[in-house]
């Protein structure tokens, strides 16, 4: 097509052609509003609804994720507190066990020392008894030698008695 139509200029107005364009436009708008616009509007409404639902579900998912995050933080704090409590209990039990073992060792050592002292005392008494017996034998032997050399019985008895009475003091 050319800009100039047969016999007319570019700025000329054709009324018949304008009426056909107007009728075509009205028919086009009628058909569009009757058949094309409702499905498009329905589709747009559905899409809008889907977007709203997606946004709502996204917000719910975010809220749920935040709640889960808070729950996880709370569980972590509780686990840390429990771990510290278990650690403290273990240290307390270890300290108690160590103290019990030290006390038991001290008691055992005291018992062993007590037994050793009793044994030493017993051996000391037994040695003293043996020494007294030996001294008494020596005294009797000395006395018999003295008696043989001196025949004074009273004097010899006094000597043996004095000797025997001096033994426990030494």
28 within a domain of the structure (yes/no): no
Burial of 164 from C-beta contacts in 10 A (0-12 / 13-18 / 19+) = middle
pLDDT value at residue 4: 44
Distance from C-alpha of 7 to C-alpha of 18, rounded to nearest angstrom: 17
4 within a domain of the structure (yes/no): no
pLDDT value at residue 146: 65
149 within a domain of the structure (yes/no): yes
11 within a domain of the structure (yes/no): no
105 within a domain of the structure (yes/no): yes
| pLDDT, tens digit (0-9, with 9 covering 90-100), for 132-155 | 888 777 777 776 776 666 556 677
25 within a domain of the structure (yes/no): no
Number of domains in the chain: 1
Range of the domain at 148: 43-166
3 within a domain of the structure (yes/no): no
Residue whose tokens read 């075509």: 24
pLDDT value at residue 3: 43
67 within a domain of the structure (yes/no): yes
pLDDT value at residue 149: 61
The answer to whether the beta carbons of residues 170 and 135 sit under 8 Å apart is no
Burial 126-158 (b: 16+ CB within 10 A, else e): eeeeeeeeebeeebeeeeeebbeeeeeeeebee
Residues of the chain with pLDDT under 70: 1-10, 143, 146-153, 168-170
Terminal alpha carbon distance of the chain: 159
| pLDDT, tens digit (0-9, with 9 covering 90-100), for 78-92 | 999 999 999 999 999
């Amino acid at each position: 097509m050319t800009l100039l139509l047969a016999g007319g200029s570019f700025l000329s107005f054709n009324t018949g052609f304008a009426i056909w364009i107007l009728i075509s436009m009205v028919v086009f708008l009628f058909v569009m509003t009757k058949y094309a616009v409702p499905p498009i509007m329905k589709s747009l409404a559905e899409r809008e609804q889907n977007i709203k639902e997606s946004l709502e579900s996204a917000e719910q998912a975010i809220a749920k994720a935040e709640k889960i995050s808070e729950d996880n933080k709370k569980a972590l704090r509780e686990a840390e507190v429990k771990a510290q409590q278990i650690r403290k209990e273990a240290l307390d039990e270890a300290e108690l066990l160590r103290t019990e073992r030290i006390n038991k060792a001290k008691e055992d050592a005291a018992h062993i020392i007590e037994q050793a002292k009793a044994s030493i005392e017993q051996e000391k008494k037994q040695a003293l008894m043996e020494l007294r017996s030996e001294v008494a034998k020596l005294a009797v032997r000395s006395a018999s030698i003295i008696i043989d050399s001196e025949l004074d019985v009273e004097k010899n008895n006094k000597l043996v008695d004095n000797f025997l009475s001096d033994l426990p003091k030494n």
